Each structure stands twice: as structure tokens, then as C-alpha cells.
């Protein structure tokens, strides 16, 4: 497959809403800024309806955003694939890359590029801790990865995030950052594990439970084919609606101030780009060294290079508020991730042609 054909395959294979996600986000940002300028009181009205410290309209938007990707996950296949021959190496490699290398890399990049912007720094650290559960399914399919293993890795990451995201966020934001100078005096705001855990349980635990129940119940009632081909496609756009609603409200708060500081936005985007690229190539290299065939290597790489920006946005809003710089930094995540990962899909297809072209006629080492 030549370069032109690879680009065309990527373009035509990506669903319309996902293909122009960056454009929709830009439009939502502009709409939020215009709304905040024309009706300064609207953001305050939306934020005034609260349950404890959680804004009710924002909570609804975030839950709507999180539910569709979690309803897509094939939970019923988790046990079968985990017990499959060779799966232990696949899953242990993925968990190490996702939950050790990824967070440490983003933490290092955040401190290297944003030492004087603690709020932005915390925001992208939260992105680095949130492992992808939605868009990775799209990137993996476009690159010809193993869809079954991808679904299981998404399920495992969802479960790990429920139990470990709050612990890791506390360690990286409060403990580790404090060791290298991120104290309250320097602008670093310590957060408690309880605050993080509460946000995770609300914004991930609720849609995760709803996704599991929905999938198992509807598959039993209507069948797997109907669920995947009809129901999932119908609820898919809700994730975008929830994301764009959240962005509009966020930018009605502080969007104008951000637009007046574009250099800071670029400083946040740069470590994100570097992170996505390093994670992708490093994981492909590790997978090749371990002897994984191309579909597994591609799945590993896109799982590692993608992030659950929905969760990062939700938790940042839950902890620091809808108008916080932390939440804004998390929003830059999908703005950067979408075009970079589209490029990396083409890179993966090139790698397949260059290094795995004989895979169909020779026996690969492991799985």
C-alpha cells in the first residue's frame, strides 16, 4: 500500500463525527467564548445548580460523554481472551506500558515544559494518568490492529482506572510534585485522594456500571449483532454531544482569557504531541522486540499512545471547577490527540508494510 492509498484509507475509514473532531472542538470553543461575551451571566447560572460541589448540568454532560464508549466495551469476552495462550505477556506488557511508563513520561514532560504553569501542568498530568477507553477502538480498527484484544485492553484499563486513578493522581499531583518543588507556595495546589476518588466514582464508576449493565442485558434480550450494529451506533454521537457541551460551558467561563494567551496554549500542546509520539514508537519497538505479530503490536501501541481525555476533563472539573486552567489543559488533549493519532495510523500502516510484510507467509514468534 503506497502513501497516498494509506492516507485515503484512513480518511474514508474514520467516521464523519470522529474525522472532524478537532473542527467540532474549535467550533465549541468559539461558541463558548461568544456565549460568555454576549451573556456573561449564563455560565454562572449553569454552575449554580449543584449537588454538593458538583455542577449538575456539567455532571449530566460529562456522564453523557462517558457512557457511549463504556457501553461499547466487550466485557463478555474478557475472561476468554485473558485465558488464551500467550495472553499473559500481552496484558502484562500493556499494563506496564500504560500504568508505569505512560504516567512517568507525561509527568516528566509536564515538569520540563511547564515548570512555571502549575495549573496547566496538573491538567496534563491528569491526562497522562487516564488510559484510553474510547478513541483507541477507532485508531486500532483503522490501523488493522487486533479488535478482540483491543476490546479487552479497554475493559482492563477501565477497571484499573476505577481502582487506581485516584491513587496515582494523588501520588503524582501531591506527593511527587511536592518532592520537586510543587508546593502551595509555588502555586501547586495539593489535592486529596478522597476528592479524586469521588470524581472518579461519579464520572467513571456510574457510566462504567451503566455500560456493563446495558451491554449484558440488551445482548441477552436482542442479541450481540443488534447491540453492536444498531444500539452502539445510535448512542455513539452522545459522547460528542456531551464533550462539546462541556467545552462550550468551560469556554464561557475563561475562554477569552485563554485566547489572549495563545503562547501558553502552545506550551501545553507541545508536551502532549511529544508524549503521543514517544509512547507510540516506544511501544511498537517493545512489541517487536517481544515478537508480537503486527495486529497485537498495533493494538499495544495505540492503546499506549491514546488517552481517556473524557475522564481527565471530568476529574479536573470535579476537583478544580469548570473554569479552572487544569480543566482547560485537559481539553487541549483531544484537540492535539486527534490529528496526531490520525498521522500515526498512517505511520502504523507504513510500519506494517516495511517490517511485517512477510507475516502472512512466515510463522511469527509469539501470538
pLDDT at 190: 61
pLDDT digits (tens, 9 = 90+) for 326-341: 888 888 888 788 789 8
Residue with cell 496526531: 340
Neighbours of 288 (CB within 10 A): 16
User: Based on C-alpha coordinates, what's the Rg of the chain?
Assistant: 20
Taking the model in full, what pTM does it have? 0.81
pLDDT at 189: 54
DSSP string computed for 281-312: HHHHHHHHHTT--HHHHHHHHHHHH-B-HHHH
pLDDT in tens, the chain (367 residues): 444 444 444 444 556 666 677 788 888 888 888 887 787 777 667 667 766 656 677 778 878 888 888 888 777 777 777 777 678 888 899 999 999 999 999 999 999 999 888 899 999 999 999 987 767 877 888 888 988 788 788 888 888 888 889 899 989 988 888 888 754 434 445 677 887 888 888 888 888 899 889 998 999 999 989 998 899 888 888 888 888 887 887 777 766 666 677 788 889 999 999 999 999 999 999 999 999 999 999 999 999 998 888 788 888 888 887 778 888 888 888 878 878 988 999 999 999 998 887 665 444 433 4
d(CA 363, CA 367): 10
pLDDT digits (tens, 9 = 90+) for 111-132: 999 988 889 999 999 999 998 7
CA distances from 247 to 88, 130, 133, 170, 339 (A): 39, 19, 20, 25, 18
What CATH number is given for 55-355 in this structure? 1.20.1530.20
Amino acid at each position: 500500500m503506497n502513501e497516498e492509498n494509506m492516507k485515503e484509507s484512513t480518511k474514508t475509514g474514520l467516521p464523519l463525527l470522529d474525522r472532524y473532531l478537532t473542527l467540532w472542538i474549535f467550533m465549541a470553543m468559539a461558541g463558548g467564548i461568544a456565549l460568555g461575551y454576549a451573556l456573561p451571566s449564563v455560565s454562572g447560572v449553569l454552575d449554580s445548580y449543584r449537588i454538593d460541589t458538583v455542577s449538575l448540568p456539567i455532571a449530566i454532560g460529562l456522564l453523557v460523554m462517558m457512557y457511549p464508549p463504556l457501553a461499547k466495551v466487550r466485557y463478555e469476552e474478557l475472561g476468554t481472551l485473558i485465558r488464551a495462550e500467550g495472553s499473559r505477556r500481552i496484558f502484562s506488557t500493556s499494563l506496564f506500558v500504560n500504568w508505569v511508563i505512560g504516567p512517568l513520561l507525561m509527568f516528566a514532560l509536564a515538569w520540563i515544559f511547564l515548570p512555571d504553569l502549575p495549573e496547566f501542568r496538573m491538567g496534563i498530568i491528569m491526562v497522562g494518568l487516564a488510559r484510553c477507553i474510547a478513541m483507541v477502538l477507532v485508531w486500532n480498527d483503522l490501523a488493522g490492529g487486533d479488535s478482540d484484544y483491543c476490546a479487552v485492553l479497554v475493559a482492563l484499563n477501565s477497571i484499573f482506572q476505577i481502582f487506581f486513578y485516584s491513587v496515582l493522581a494523588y501520588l503524582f499531583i501531591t506527593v511527587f510534585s511536592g518532592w520537586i518543588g510543587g508546593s502551595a507556595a509555588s502555586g501547586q495546589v495539593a489535592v486529596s485522594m478522597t476528592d479524586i476518588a469521588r470524581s472518579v466514582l461519579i464520572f467513571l464508576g456510574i457510566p462504567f456500571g451503566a455500560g456493563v449493565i446495558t451491554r449484558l442485558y440488551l445482548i441477552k434480550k436482542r442479541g450481540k449483532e443488534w447491540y453492536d450494529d444498531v444500539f452502539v451506533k445510535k448512542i455513539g454521537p452522545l459522547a460528542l454531544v456531551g464533550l462539546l457541551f462541556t467545552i462550550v460551558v468551560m469556554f464561557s467561563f475563561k475562554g477569552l482569557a485563554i485566547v489572549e494567551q495563545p503562547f501558553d496554549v502552545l506550551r501545553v500542546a507541545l508536551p502532549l504531541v511529544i508524549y503521543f509520539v514517544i509512547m507510540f514508537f516506544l511501544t511498537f519497538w517493545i512489541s517487536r522486540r517481544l515478537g508480537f505479530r503486527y495486529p497485537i503490536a498495533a493494538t499495544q501501541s495505540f492503546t499506549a499512545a491514546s488517552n481517556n481525555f473524557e475522564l481527565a476533563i471530568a476529574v479536573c472539573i470535579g476537583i478544580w471547577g469548570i473554569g479552572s486552567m487544569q480543566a482547560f489543559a485537559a481539553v487541549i488533549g483531544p484537540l492535539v490527540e486527534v490529528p496526531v493519532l490520525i498521522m500515526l495510523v498512517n505511520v502504523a500502516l507504513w510500519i506494517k508494510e516495511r517490517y511485517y510484510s512477510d507475516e502472512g507467509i512466515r510463522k511469527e514468534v509469539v501470538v
